[in-house]
Structure 1
């Protein structure tokens, strides 16, 4: 997978299309909750498969001492190919390059084991975000 930081409007629209497909169309997240005020200032990443098609996306923000991983998604037909793990590792590299030593994310509970496998530990009970059960997780980088 080729992962890059979004630099052009075209790349940003590709990332938003992946997010729209996964979160709004597949998971039924309301559009006004998916695209929010943080999208203007966040760092966005886009992942392309071997054919050069956009298949994964995420955004990264810095909140307090954490790099906060958000909107992590892979198109349904591309899941199971380690694209999500590659995206997480790319975001963690950016966080470390910016001098932060911790990353944080809110994981959908069905993906909690995936993030634990990548070294994240759960720090909260279950809560709802956009009507979907989540837990907060952190990792020391």
Structure 2
């Protein structure tokens, strides 16, 4: 396996790759309606792509208020720390832009993953697109 790297993506230029990944994960696997998956915030968000070699395998976005979202990794690459690389890259970018704290809505099953990366649950469980979620916040800096 090639080394995984994460880069800033361009919503227009990289749109096909971002859509392919998010549609595979959220629409096909999790049955989220496509009209809920893609929203008006995509246009202004900072997008990220995780790549193995030159092949995009994961994506995430960062909103201007420090909200991280749409974190998705293709099924065949899960469990290989791609999510860690992706989220850490987004956190680093957010901190560089002084976007603190970072926030996200996590699917409940994924809370241990985000807790390991410094996020804490700050809400009761709620349904988003029919899937149990919690709000999480990360206030501290990345470990050195």
TM-score tier (shorter) = over 0.9
Aligned residues: 137
- Residue aligning to 1:57: 59
- Residue aligning to 1:86: 85
Counterparts of 1:19-30 in structure 2, within 5 Å, are 19-30=22-33
1:94-139 deviations in Å (ceiling 9; x for gaps): 1111112310000000000111111110000100111100000001
Q: Distance in 2 between matches of 1:138 and 1:97?
A: 17
1:56-99 deviations in Å (ceiling 9; x for gaps): 00111022xxx111000100111000000111110011111111
Query: Contact (CA 8 Å) 2:60, 2:71: kept in 1 or not?
Result: yes
Q: Distance in 1 between matches of 2:73 and 2:21?
A: 7
- Gaps of at least 5 residues in structure 1 are none
Q: Using structure 2 for the length normalisation, give the TM-score.
A: 0.91
What root-mean-square deviation, in Å, do the aligned CA atoms of Structure 1 and Structure 2 show? 1.1
Cα distance 1:8–1:133, how it changes in 2: closer, same or farther (>3 A)? closer
- Residue aligning to 1:101: 100
Write out the 4+ residue segments of structure 1 that deviate beyond 3 Å after TM superposition: none
Q: Using structure 1 for the length normalisation, give the TM-score.
A: 0.93
